[in-house]
Structure 1
Amino acid sequence: MVVTIGFPKGKVNKDEPDSVCAIREVFKETYFYPRTRKEIGKIEWVKAALQAQQLQQQSQQNNLLSTFNGQYNKQKSQPSISNHS
């Protein structure tokens, strides 16, 4: 199973490893939290393909997606709603 998740407003905290940031951001967006890091498998970072117009507007911005390959438990999950004021 391959799950691809983007981080639309995700921010990496100071001195925070990419894997910790990815787990935190996935939890905030999907309410899925792996019981162990082994459950998420290998994390790979790939550049997201942007449409031509977006690429022109955001040429200096790195858009990253994390691809999680691994076995997921069958826990029920639902999106988390947060107030971005």
Structure 2
Amino acid sequence: MPNITLSVPPDVYKKMKEHSEIRWSEVARKAIVGYLERLEKGNLELPAKDILKMLGKDFEKKVTETPLETYERFHKKAREAEWTRTRSFTTRT
């Protein structure tokens, strides 16, 4: 199973440490699965502003201060990588 790393504010981390009996990775996994299920069902209608707020001020600051050209460059790279990946599939007829 792949691993991910999360950043949480120090006060949240302190509260998490007070409840060491809880498997926080399982809590995060269930939250992610639930979020994806709502997203796939179309029941997730959060504006970008709300998502940025949930991700925190530091993330929002990075997003808003990054030039649009940077995002366009990364989008182009991702699109080209996806095209390379999908065109390498062979199909049986």
Say which structure is richer in helix.
2
Structure (1 or 2) with the greater strand fraction: 1
Band of TM-score, shorter chain: under 0.3
State the TM-score, normalized to the length of structure 1: 0.27
TM-score scaled by length of structure 2: 0.25
* Structure with larger Rg: 2
**Greater RCO between the two (CA within 8 Å, min separation 6)?**
1
